[in-house]
Copies of this chain bind each other. A is one copy, B any other.
């Protein structure tokens, strides 16, 4: 196992521990919504966002507990967005990571409520005193997450995506859509470290730029896998973009140009890390670019 695989496994284990701490099972009458929240978060995801929080936090020697809580908060938001996106009225997906989606395992009403509660929980966790002793740091996290997740960010991107079949899209439009839909939350994962570590604005900007490029690489490889991988490999339905006639980086650029575009963006992402030198976390962030470029699911 290489150092990145080891760090990703650590991030996964860390996330599970933190979710157990923040969201224990509940025997109350409303315990069903807690069970659905746990189902949606404890399902063996890649935990890329928690890993990015832990790694960018390590660049600035942030306390482990602070980073772990912020990592959990971001994963709550990511998982809520998956639960709502999978709903029949949205993407209508039955499978996620190889197991039934939340509304299939529970029911639609419970899935809607579980998503709502996960989003709310994220802000509760960021605001909690044990996230950081300085309230200004906690409020910076709250505002940055809200801006990344709301109508100017993730939700706005999802809205654009829902309308994409109606409006023909070109590369600039898709780039904007993806930066909002997935890029903003990945970017927040990478600026969480510098916010917690009260880093110099230049360092925060460098990591934000890295994250934006990484996010686009992630999206282009996602589009490529939708064309090239099987449902079994991905643990979710593939070939969906073409079925829906949706414009993607791959449908507009073709497979080869999409691959070289991902490569170029990956190189640019790595260049943004120059000022962080040869430290272990900086190298992990460099490895991440290769990992995303080469991923098979």
Contact = CB atoms under 8 A, between A and B. Distances in A.
Interface of A: 26, 28-30, 32-34, 37, 80, 84, 87, 89-90, 107-110, 112-113, 115-117, 119-121, 123-124, 126-128, 135-136, 138-139, 142-143, 145-147, 149-151, 155-160, 162-163, 167, 173, 176-177, 180
A150 B180 CA distance: 25
Contacts of A28: 156
A156 B124 contact: no
The 9 closest A-B pairs by CB, nearest first: A89-B108, A124-B146, A30-B156, A120-B150, A33-B159, A127-B143, A117-B151, A127-B142, A135-B135
A188 to B, nearest CB: 12
Given A136-B135, A139-B138, A167 B115 contact: no
Contact of A110 (B147, B149, B159): B159
A84 B30 contact: no
Contact of A146 (B108, B120, B159): B120
Contacts of A146: 120-121, 123-124, 127
Nearest to A84: B112
B139 A37 contact: no
B173 A150 contact: no
A89 to B, nearest CB: 4
B121 A160 contact: no
A146 B141 CA distance: 15
B123 A123 contact: yes
Given A33-B155, A138-B139, A142-B142, 10 more contacts: A32-B163, A90-B112, A113-B162, A115-B116, A117-B150, A117-B155, A123-B142, A124-B146, A135-B135, A135-B139
A150 B113 CA distance: 9
A173 B113 contact: no
22 contacts: A29-B176, A30-B151, A32-B163, A84-B112, A87-B89, A87-B112, A89-B107, A89-B112, A90-B109, A90-B112, A109-B162, A110-B159, A113-B158, A116-B116, A117-B151, A119-B120, A120-B149, A124-B142, A124-B150, A127-B139, A135-B139, A139-B139
Contacts of A158: 113
A227 to B, nearest CB: 25
A29 B151 CA distance: 11
